[in-house]
Each structure stands twice: as C-alpha cells, then as structure tokens.
Chains A and B, each alone.
Chain A
Amino acid sequence: MEMITSLLAGILFATGIYNLLQKQLLRIVIGTALISHGAHLFILTMGKLKRGNPPIIVEGVENYVDPLPQALILTSIVISFGVTSFLLVLAYRAAKTNDTDNMDELRGNENE
C-alpha cells in the first residue's frame, strides 16, 4: 500500500505542478494546495502505514503507528494553512490592483 500512496502523492505533485505552470492565478493557487497535500501524504507514508493502533496509549496495547510523522504533518498542515490563506489574499489583492489574474500580464518590465 505504501507504494500506492507514494504514487498517489507523486500524482498530487504532478497535477499540482501542472496547475502551477498555468497562467491563471486560481489554477496556480490550486496547484500549491495540491502540492501540499502531496507533501503531507508523503510524510505519512514514510512513517509506515497501519502498523498498529493509533498512537494513543492504551493499557495492554503494544503496537502503535509511528507518532512522529503525524506530529510533523500537523505542524505542517497548520503552517500551510497560514501560508495558503496569505497567498489567497495576496492573489486577490495583486489581481485587483493590477487588473488581471493572468500571470503572463504580471511580468513587469526592466528598470522599474
């Protein structure tokens, strides 16, 4: 199964990147969201899947899944949430002030 989740994470990366390579802002932002999903799935996979119970200590249970990746993902999810919200507002503001949501028209020119 780990192979399959790795593949899935890779697909999330690929679709995310494809979206990142588009011109329209919305697609680009969607791309980053997909990539972060891919990243989180990778972290989870790397800690091995389903080996034991959820990491909540219960008397008499010996086997637990690796708790550390979960903690890392949690931190990372929250951080990406912060960054994504910021990015959303930034995208909105940039598009409004520059009157376009097309990155190709947001190139700028030399010597400004």
Chain B
Amino acid sequence: MLTAIFLPLILACFIPFLSKWKDSIHTGWFVLPIPFSIFVYLITQVGTQFSPFERSYSWIPSLQINFDLYLDGLSLLFGLLISGIGSLVVLYSVYYLHKSEQLGHFYVYLLMFMAAMFGVVFSDNVFALYTFWELTSLSSFLLIGYWNHRKGSRYGALKSMLITVFGGLSLLGGLLLLTIVTDTTSIQAMMDQKETIINSPQFGWILGFIFLGAFTKSAQFPFHIWLPDAMEAPTPVSAYLHSATMVKAGIFLIARFLPIFSLSEWFFIIVSTVGIVTLCWGSYMAVRQTDLKGILAFSTISQLGMIMAMLGFGTKIAVFAAVFHILNHATFKGSLFMVAGIIDHETGTRDIRKLGGLMTLMPITATLAVFGTFSMAGVPLPFLNGFYSKELFFDASLHLKGEGLAQTLAAIIPYLAVFGSIFTFVYSMYLFFGTFRGEYKEKELPQKPHEAPIGMLISPIILVLLVITIGLIPELFNSALIDHVAEAVKGEPMEKHIKFWHGWDGTPLHMSLIVVALGALLVSFRSYWSGVYKAVPGALSLNKAYDWLVDRTEKYSSTITNGYMNGSLRRYVRLLLIAILLGTIGTMLLTNGLALNPTDVEDVTFPEMLVVIMMVLAALATIFTNNRIAAILILGVVGYGLAILFVLYRAPDLALTQLIIETVTVALFLLVFMHLPELRKRHESAGTILINASIAILFGAMMTIVGISSYNSKWFEPISDYFLETSVKLGGGHNVVNVILVDMRGLDTLFEITVLGIAALAIFNMIKLRRKKGAKE
C-alpha cells in the first residue's frame, strides 16, 4: 500500500524528464500503467474472504505521526475507485488533451493527487490523513488552475483552495482534539474508546470541527459553491477529482468515524439535515444551469448530499445504500463527465442552449448518455444501478426513528427525499434531451460535430458497462465488496440482498413512480415554472456571499491597516507607550507591586538638590525653547548636571566619561543642526498637547514608581562585593570599575567598541553616499 502512495509520487518526479519524447509519445501513456497496476493489485484483494489488515511505516514516531496504513472494506472501495477511475481518466485524457498542452504539469499534478488520495483513504494515522488531505486540496488547486491564463480558472482555483483548506484546518482541530481525548493517533485505536470520546467535554467541538472539514470537502450546502467553479479544470480532472474521488473524501471521513459519532443523536440530526438540504438544493439548482458541466457539478453536489444523508441516517440499510451509491455514482457520473467532455471537444461548446439534436450525429455518445442519465435519474429499469441505490435510499428514509428534534426530522425526510429526487429526474432528462434531442442548431456551434474518436469512447463505455453489470447482477458486487465496505463502516456484519422487484405494494417503489410521474410533468412544462428561480435564489446567492466576504476581507484589511499604520512616528510612539503603560500599570496593580515607603535611603543635601533642580529646569526648558542653539546647549546642561551627580555619587570614571562624551555630543549636535532648519513654533491643538503631555508625564511617573519600588525591594545582596574583594587580588587593579570593564565584563567592552566601530562605518557610508549624490545633482 505504501507503494500505492509513493509510486505515483516517484513517477511525478520523473515526468519532467520525459519531455524529451513528448512530441512522439503522449505523456499519458507513461502514466497509465501506474493506476492500472495498483488497480490490479487491489482487485486481487476483493472477494468474500477479504479481511482487513494493517501495515506501519514510521515517519515521525516521536510525534506519533506515522504512515500506519489500514486496508479494510471502505478503503478498499475507495482505493479501487481511485485507481480504477484513475486509469480510465488517464486513458481518456490521452485523447482529450493535445500534445501541445503542458502535459508534464498536468500529469505531475494528477499523480500527486492520486498519491494523496490513496494516502487519505489508506491512512490510519490521523496526522498522516490530514497531511494527505491537504495535499489533495493543493493538487486540486493546481489542476483547476491548469489553464491559468483563464480568469475563471484562477478564480475557481482560489475559491476551492480557500474553502477546502478552511475545512482542512478545521479538520485538523478536530483530529487534534481526538488525539488529546484518546491519547492515540490511530483511528482504529480510537474505535476502542468510543465511550471516552462521546462523553468527553470536547465532544461537541470534535464533532463541529470534523464535520466542517468533511462538509467543505464534499461540497455540502452551504460550502458547495466551490465545486461549480472547479469545473474550469480540464474535463478529465472534473470527472476524476470533482466527481469520483476527492469530493468523496468528506464522505469517506464521515463513514470512517461513523461508528463513533453515530452514538450521538446529533450525528443523525446534523449529517442528515445537511445531506438532505444539499440534495434538494443541488438538484434544484442543477436545472437552472446552462453549462453541461455546470449541470453535472450541481448534480454531483446533490448526489453527494444524498450519500451524506444516508450516512447520517446511520441505519444498516442506509449505510449499505450509501456505500453502494458511492460506487454507482462514480460509474454513471464518471461516464457523464466524459460524455460532456466529448461534446465539448467535438462541438466546441458546453452551452446547452446551443446544443441539441446531436443524437444522429453522435449515436454512440448519445447511447452512453442515455444509460448515464437514466441511471442517475433512478428510472425503474432492472439494468440501471442508479435505480437500486435510489430505491434503497427511499427505503432507508422510511425507517427512521428518533425522539424530539430527531423525530420531526425523521418525519420530514421522506418528503424531502422525494422532492430532491424529482429534480434529479428533471435535470437528468434536461441534460439528455437538451443535448441529444430537439432541434439541431448548426449555426450556433463553433465547429461541426461528429462522433468522437474511439480512444475517447473507451473509458465511458467501460463505465457504462459497469453501470449495466451492477444493475443486472448486483449480488456479485455485494458479497465481494459492498458487504465488506458496509461492515467496515457500520462495524457489524451485513447481509443485505438487493432485489429488483419488491412487489407493487412496496412504498419505495411508489415513491419512485411518483418521482418519475411528477418529474416528467415538470420536464414537459419547464418553461411555465422556470420563473421560480427569480424568486429563489434570486439575487441572494451564496456565491455573492463568498465574493463579498473575500472582497470585504481585503477592503477592511486595507482600511484597518492603513488606519493605524499611517507612517506617523508620533502615532507609533504614542500607541507603543500607551500599550506599555497599560500593561505595566495593570500588572503592578494586579500583583501588588507597589513599594513606595522609602527604606534605607541617603539624606538629601543642598548641593545635590541644587544640581537636581538645575537639571529639572533644563530638561523642561528643552521643551519650551524655540531656538535650536539654546535647545542644544540646554541639553548640554542636563548632561553636565549628570556628570556633577556622578562626581557627587563617587563615580569619578563616569563623571569623566560623561563630561567628554557630552562635550562631543553637543558639538556634533551643533554641527548637524546648523544645517537644518531653525526650530519652529509649534502649531499644535490644545488636545494634541494634552495627549502628548499626559502620555509623557504618565510614563515618567510610571518609571519613577517602578524604579522606587525596585529600590525599596532590595531582597538580595548584590554580587558586587565579590568584585571589591577580588579586584586587586585576581584582577590586578585598584580601580574596581576599570577591572570590571576590562576583565570581569571584558566581553561587554569588546562589543561596546564594536558598536562604536560599526557606527563609525555606517556614518562614513552615509557621508560618502551624500557626496556621490551631490556630484550627480
């Protein structure tokens, strides 16, 4: 199984080197053997004797992130779909994509996706699952954007990525919670702790997070909006990712966790509501589409909704029907996408309003479409697999039980099921008759249509044959595959036998007949009721909501950011100081930090006070003076004052240094600011002055208070005694400050000099570059 995941990836690395032959042999032929051989391997597993098995390969064992691969019925079914449909799609693409396209890119993305998708379905480790999950989103993004010169492609790619990655992140949250609750990263191990999970306080979050992940990926209402836009991808991609496999990853996830989650009644309520709403909305909206692939996209949405709803029901029969329909949907929808691709390829348009009457021109394609659409519609014919799953769906919808909210829901569901199915019937017929019957509009078609080349037909033919085979002998698939799947999902053995004929009194059959009858009526009188779309959804579309959200996110971001990042230093300093003020004062109050009672202080003497008062006056004067030379000199007064204090406080070295440096600084100031404009009178509003002054005063006060409190909290002897004791003995110097500087803290001094050096170089640079500029001017 690990091979299944990594083989495509390895080949993907080699694809770029195959470009040598790209003119003679279509790259697709190199790719084809991969999914096909995996398919063959997996098919050998199928059979009544099948039993699940596990393989482990370590990746990051210390984080419990490993490739623990697990093959049970469910993953087997998906594996078969991925490899089987994958092979057909690659084959189809060989004829669909011309050699002049960037085939290398296409197949690299496709293989990447294939590997990722295998990874999703085979992983038992939740983090590995998540890894592959995001990889499918990424490869889907790249595939939708394959024709990235088109605006629609770029738009669709971004949309799908944002929505599915959003879901992916949510899923990550859920999976993390699961691992926290169960203390394991293995899904199988989680199965043994159902009760722990259900009863944990985090369960609500788990459910919400994981559902969000599954619903976004499987295009459930209201997250379905990315899927129609994803149709910008080449048709093989739509058939593969956006119908058969990737969009079913969400379904897979729900099915995987069904044994745990279905113990909660919220599982039924949420999943079946979302599913059934998606079914109805998708089929309702499909009828309104004009693009063939648009119809198919909404049809996929509605079918996914149906599967989701059945999983939500959670009963034996419903689960059985759900997995059965996963297979059936893949067959008929895959063939229909390929048919749509053929029509697009041959006529040059996918607009159903321009199409019509192609039956005679493309008989084989039309025949394929008949089987596909009728199966999708659930027309009661014994050789269509779609009918069986629909029948089972109705059957399941009738056997729902529950209390309270669940009971109400159980009562409504059958009606909604019928409603949704009517529209399913309508769009299926609309699709077929609109394209192949009716008037042939030759003038509106960009090119003259004729039957597709045989290569393009092989894949849909195989799929349609499957549709019929399943329809004719469902038992064959049931015992060998579907039973195992359903058993894997439900966690208990299955024995369900599908019969075509239930007798006339079976309610499901009546429901099917109602669907066909009402559906046929609606199809015939479509023009009379299509005005309804003006009312619902009308102008209120979810797409607009998405566009609005994205647009607003950018707009508001700009507004907010430009609002405070306005380049004004004053603003920045103010905000910075206010933040520090609030944080510090808040902390001080919360922790009883104040210690303002003077302890162990020196007396105040007159000379000191004189210096202090002089410095205060000078500091204040810097604010009020409007003469630059005066301002600089006053600043010098503060500096010299400090030097005097150093003398008074027994710091001769400091005093000396301070004197020298102050002198040089003042000189520098004078030198620089003689060339700059004179200080101006300020024209500030009283408000501004008030704000500035209060910030300044508060900050100064805060520093004083913290300083005094620190001073009054001398709880430890400073380490300096050691310096005094050892200075002469070990340092060899009598001036302790000097010994500290050059010896004990020599590193400080070394780098202090370094700082000076760098400053000198930087200043030198600025001056040199000025000259260069001066020369230019």
Q: Chain A interface (Cβ within 8 Å of chain B)?
A: 1-30, 33-34, 37-38, 40-42, 44-58, 64-68, 70-71, 73-75, 77-79, 81-86, 88-93, 95-97, 101, 103-104, 106-110
CB distance from B640 to the nearest CB of A (A): 11
Residue B723 is within 8 A (CB to CB) of chain A in the complex: yes
B704 and A45 form a contact (CB under 8 A): no
Instruction: Give the residues in chain A near B540, CB-CB below 8 Å.
Output: none
Check A109–B654 contact: CB distance below 8 A. Answer: no
CB contact under 8 A between A78 and B737, given known A37-B639, A93-B770, A103-B568? no
Residues on A with C-beta less than 8 A from B403 are: none
Q: What secondary structure prevails in chain B residues at the interface with A?
A: helix
Would you give the 0/1 interface string for B744-763, flagging 1 where the beta carbon is closer than 8 Å to chain A? 01001100110110111011
Per the bound structure, the CA–CA distance linking A3 and B639 in Å amounts to: 20
Q: Are B570 and A23 in contact (CB under 8 A)?
A: yes
Partner of B661, one of A7, A12, A81: A81
- Is the CB–CB distance between A53 and B700 below 8 Å? no
Pair B766/A89 contact, Cβ less than 8 Å: yes
Query: Which A-B residue pairs are the 6 nearest by beta carbons?
Result: A14-B700, A10-B704, A107-B567, A18-B696, A82-B759, A55-B736
B479 at the interface (CB under 8 A from A): no
Cα–Cα, bound, A51→B653 (Å): 17
From the candidates B648, B680, B735, name the one contacting A55 in the complex (CB within 8 A): B735
Question: What's the minimum C-beta distance from A18 to chain B, rounded to whole angstroms?
Answer: 4
Is B651 a contact partner of A11 (Cβ separation < 8 A)?
Answer: no
A71 x B679 contact (CB < 8 A): no
Q: What is the CB-to-nearest-CB distance from B541 to chain A, in angstroms, rounded to a whole number?
A: 33
Whether A14 contacts B701 by the Cβ 8 Å rule is yes
Q: Is the CB of A89 within 8 A of B741?
A: no
B620 to chain A, nearest CB (A): 6
Interface members, chain B 672-697 (any A CB < 8 Å): 672-673, 675-677, 679-680, 682, 692-693, 695-697
Chain B positions 597-640 with a Cβ under 8 Å from a chain A Cβ = 598, 600-605, 608-609, 612, 615-616, 619-620, 622-623, 628, 631-632, 635, 638-639
Query: Once the chains bind, are A86 and B759 in contact (CB under 8 Å)?
Result: yes
> A14's contact among B604, B648, B696, B711, by CB below 8 Å, is which?
B696
A7 to B596, CA, bound (A): 12
B635 touches A30 (CB 8 A): yes
Contact residues in B for A4 (Cβ distance below 8 Å): 604, 608-609, 612
Q: Which of A41, A46, A53 contacts B642 (CB 8 A)?
A: A41
A12's closest neighbor in chain B, by CB?
Answer: B619
For A54, give its contact among B616, B651, B723, B753 (CB under 8 Å): B651
With a cutoff of 8 Å between Cβ atoms, the chain B residues found around residue A24 in the complex are: 679-680
Q: In the complex where A79-B755, A86-B763, A108-B567 touch, is A74 in contact with B654 (Cβ < 8 A)?
A: yes
Task: Give the interface segment out of B123-131, B165-173, B663-671.
Answer: B663-671
Chain A positions within 8 Å of B711 at CB level: 2-3, 6, 45-46
Which B283-302 residues have a C-beta within 8 angstroms of A?
A: none
Task: Please tell me if B405 contacts chain A, counting CB pairs below 8 Å.
Answer: no
Task: Check B619–A21 contact: CB distance below 8 A.
Answer: no
Is the beta-carbon distance between A82 and B672 smaller than 8 angstroms? no
8 Å CB contact of B650 from A9, A14, A50? A50
**Contacts of B696 on A, CB cut-off 8 Å?**
14-15, 17-18, 21
Bound: A8/B616 CA distance, A: 7
Taken together as a complex, chains A and B put the C-alpha atoms of A84 and B671 apart, in Å, by 13
Question: In the complex, A52→B664 CA distance in Å?
Answer: 31
> Is the CB of B498 closer than 8 A to any CB of chain A?
no
Q: Does B584 contact A (CB under 8 A)?
A: no
B538 at the interface (CB under 8 A from A): no
Given A49-B649, A68-B723, A73-B654: A2 in contact with B602 (beta carbons within 8 A): yes
With A9-B707, A57-B734, A92-B675 known as contacts, the answer to whether A50 contacts B649 (CB < 8 A) is yes
Chain B, range 551-593, C-beta contacts under 8 Å to A: 562, 566-570, 573-574, 577
A107/B657 in contact, CB under 8 A: no
Asked if B708 is at the interface of the complex by the 8 Å CB criterion, the answer is yes
Counting chain B CB atoms within 10 Å of each CB, which of A9, A16, A34, A55 scores highest? A55
In the complex, chain B residues whose CB is within 8 Å of the CB of A44: 645-646, 649, 651, 654
Q: Which residue of B lies closest to A80 (CB)?
A: B661
Other-chain residue from B573, B665, B680, B763 in contact with A81 (beta carbon distance below 8 A):
B665
A-B contacts, 17 listed (Cβ < 8 Å): A2-B602, A6-B708, A10-B707, A11-B616, A21-B696, A26-B628, A26-B679, A27-B631, A27-B679, A42-B703, A50-B648, A55-B724, A75-B748, A77-B654, A85-B665, A93-B766, A101-B677
Which chain B residues border A79 with CB–CB below 8 Å? 752, 755-756
* B141 CB to nearest chain A CB (Å): 27
* B719 within 8 A of partner (CB): yes
B699 touches A95 (CB 8 A): no
Flag if A15 contacts B620 (CB, 8 Å): yes
- The CA-CA distance from A24 to B767 in the complex, in Å, is 22
- The answer, yes or no, to whether B728 is at the interface (CB within 8 Å) is yes
Q: Is the CB of A12 within 8 A of B638?
A: yes
Query: Which residues does chain B contribute within 8 Å of A27, judged by CB atoms?
Result: 622, 631, 679
A91, B628: Cα distance in complex, Å: 15
Asked if B568 and A107 sit within 8 Å, CB to CB, the answer is yes
Closest Cβ–Cβ distance, residue B695 to chain A (whole Å):
7
Judge whether A55 and B650 touch: CB under 8 Å: yes
| Measured CA separation A8–B664 after assembly (Å) | 24
| Contact between chains at B673 and A26 (CB < 8 Å) | yes
Chain A: minimal CB distance from B563 (Å): 12
Q: In the complex the two chains form, is A7's CB within 8 Å of B759's CB?
A: no
Do B567 and A109 have beta carbons less than 8 Å apart? yes
**Cβ contacts under 8 Å, B770 to chain A:** 93, 96
- Nearest opposing residue in chain B for A1, CB measure: B602
Chain A residues with CB below 8 A from B562, complex form? 110
Best-surrounded residue of B577, B620, B756 (most CB of chain A within 10 A): B756
Known: A21-B692, A22-B682, A88-B672. A9 touches B704 (CB 8 A): yes
Residues of A within 8 A of B766 (CB): 89-90, 93
From residue B65, how far is it (CB to closest CB) to chain A in Å? 41
Of the candidates B619, B695, B710, which one forms a contact with A34 in the assembled complex, judged by CB atoms under 8 Å apart?
Answer: B619
Q: Are A30 and B631 in contact (CB under 8 A)?
A: yes
Which residues of chain A are near B695, meaning CB under 8 Å?
17, 21
Is there contact, CB below 8 Å, between A77 and B657? yes
- Asked if B699 and A17 make an inter-chain contact with CB atoms under 8 angstroms apart, the answer reads yes
- Interfacial residues of chain B within 704-752, with CB under 8 A of chain A in the complex: 704-705, 707-708, 710-711, 718-720, 723-724, 727-728, 734-737, 740-741, 745, 748-749, 752
The reply to whether A67 and B737 form a contact with Cβ atoms under 8 Å apart is yes
